[in-house]
Amino acid sequence: MPVKQTYIGRFAPSPTGPLHLGSLYTALAGFLQARSQQGQWLLRIDDLDTPRNIKGAADTILKTLEIFGLHWDGNVYYQSHKREEYEAILNELKNNERVYPCTCSRKELSHLPAKQALPDIYPGICRDKQAPAGAPHALRVKTDHCIISFQDDLQGLISANLAERHGDFILKRKDRIIAYQLAVVIDDHRQNITHVVRGSDLLDSTPKQIFLQQQLEWPAPGYMHVPILVDRQGYKLSKQTFAQAVDLKTPHQVIFQLLSLLKQKPPAELQQAPAAELLGWAQNHWNPAPLKNLRAISP
């Protein structure tokens, strides 16, 4: 009889400010999914993009999760401590001639004819060029016309032709920062993540990440992309849209609201219950099915 794989999920916030309702909503969904499977829920601080980091934000995120009873397993994983590992994997891709230097700037790409520069699609200008010695450059991965498909637990079958949808995407930026797409793949592999629960705004990134997993001959985790929270204008709740930090004074009220937004229908008699009691109920009754095929929800 096959041994059931242990569920290992994760939450990976960026320390660019305090958690807002949208980020805590995603954290709660991932936490409940992991706990409902008697699995682990790990915490990773996505702090590679140093220009965007805010001093003290990581500690504030940890404190917020603890106040809301979302206790993670094991030690906190900081991306900034893993730079040598990212460079080693990048060198492996270089040695296999899977990446190449790109000296193109955004300004140069914006001036290309429309047929050569569709939005978000790199037309391969530098793929077969020799970059001048010492010139600032990004590193791009060579994609092809293969179809990347995966079955998302909520959004169904997702397929993408990387060459047509994205072109050769960046793995290391000109400012020498490892790009999100590569870092997240390495992190998930190093932490033995079996299931990724995150917002539907990252659905488009998943084929890129599966492509990199294939290049590195690593297994892909399962994916569940929950609908994102949006404001009245339809914009995602985020720091860029000035989403307010969650209220730390009344965690039970916030948890009740989030459970309602996650379509869990918490009973009215629990509205004033402590956060720990609410979370206990939610773990025993967690059912993500009502979120199927939803990409966005408005509070």
Each residue's pLDDT tens digit, 197-216 = 999 999 999 999 999 999 99
In a domain, residue 128? The reply is yes
Are 51 and 94 found together in one domain? no
What are the contacts of 232-238 at 24+ separation with CB within 8 A? 232/298, 234/296, 234/298, 236/22, 236/199, 236/201, 236/296, 237/20, 237/21, 237/22, 237/299, 238/20, 238/22
**Average pLDDT in the 164-184 region?**
95
Residue bearing tokens 């899977």: 98
Question: Are 163 and 230 within one domain?
Answer: no
* DSSP 8-state assignment for residue 13: -
Within a domain: 123: yes
Q: Both 58 and 120 in a single domain?
A: no
86 is in an annotated binding site: no
Q: Provide the pLDDT for residue 114.
A: 55
pLDDT tens-digit map of 215-229: 999 999 999 999 999
Reduced to 3 states, what is the DSSP secondary structure of residue 229? strand
41 within a domain of the structure (yes/no): yes
Predicted pLDDT of residue 122 = 87
Whether 227 is covered by a domain: the verdict is yes
173 is in an annotated binding site: no
Confidence of residue 2 (pLDDT cuts 50, 70, 90): very low
The encoded tokens of residue 210 equal: 């599966």
State residue 105's pLDDT score: 86
CATH of the domain at 52: 3.40.50.620
Residue 198 labeled ligand binder: yes
- What is residue 57's predicted lDDT score, i.e. its pLDDT? 97
Tokens of 48: 């590679």
14 annotated binding-site participant: yes
Confidence of residue 241 (pLDDT cuts 50, 70, 90): low
Q: Was 153 annotated as part of a binding site?
A: no
Tell me the per-residue pLDDT of 28-70, one tens digit each, with 9 for 90 and over: 999 999 999 999 999 999 999 999 999 999 999 999 999 999 9
Tell whether the model's pLDDT for residue 1 goes beyond 60: no
Total domains in the fold of the chain:
2
Angle, CA of 54, 55 and 56, to the nearest 5°: 110
User: Is 49 among the annotated ligand-binding positions?
Assistant: no
Which residues, at least 6 apart from 68, have a Cβ–Cβ distance to it below 8 Å?
24, 28, 246, 251, 254, 255, 275
Give 104-130 pLDDT, tens digit per residue: 988 877 777 655 545 568 888 999 888
Across 188-222, b (16+ Cβ under 10 Å) vs e yields bbebebbbbbbbbbbbebbbbbbbbbebbeeebbb
Q: Does the residue 2 lie in any domain? A: no
Q: Is the pLDDT of residue 134 over 90?
A: no
Q: Is residue 239 in a domain? A: yes
13 is in an annotated binding site: yes
The proportion of the chain whose per-residue pLDDT surpasses 70, expressed as a percent, equals: 95
Q: Is 126 annotated as a binding residue?
A: yes
Is 239 annotated in a binding site? The answer is yes
Contact 147, 161 (CB under 8 A): yes
**Angle of helix 180-190 relative to helix 206-215, nearest 10 degrees?**
60
**Structural domain span for residue 28:** 8-78+193-200+222-297
Q: Over 70: is that where the pLDDT of 268 sits?
A: yes
Question: Mean pLDDT across the chain, nearest whole number?
Answer: 93
pLDDT of residue 240: 67
Cβ–Cβ under 8 Å, residues 195 and 205: no
CA gap 102, 97 in Å, rounded: 14
CB-based burial, 119-157: b 16+ in 10 Å, e otherwise: eebbbbbbeeeeeeeeeebbbbbebeeeebebebbbbee
> Would you state the pLDDT for residue 3?
47
Task: Please check whether residues 51 and 91 belong to one and the same domain.
Answer: no
Inform me whether the pLDDT recorded for 16 exceeds 50.
yes
Q: Are residues 90 and 52 in the same domain?
A: no
Confidence of residue 299 (pLDDT cuts 50, 70, 90): confident
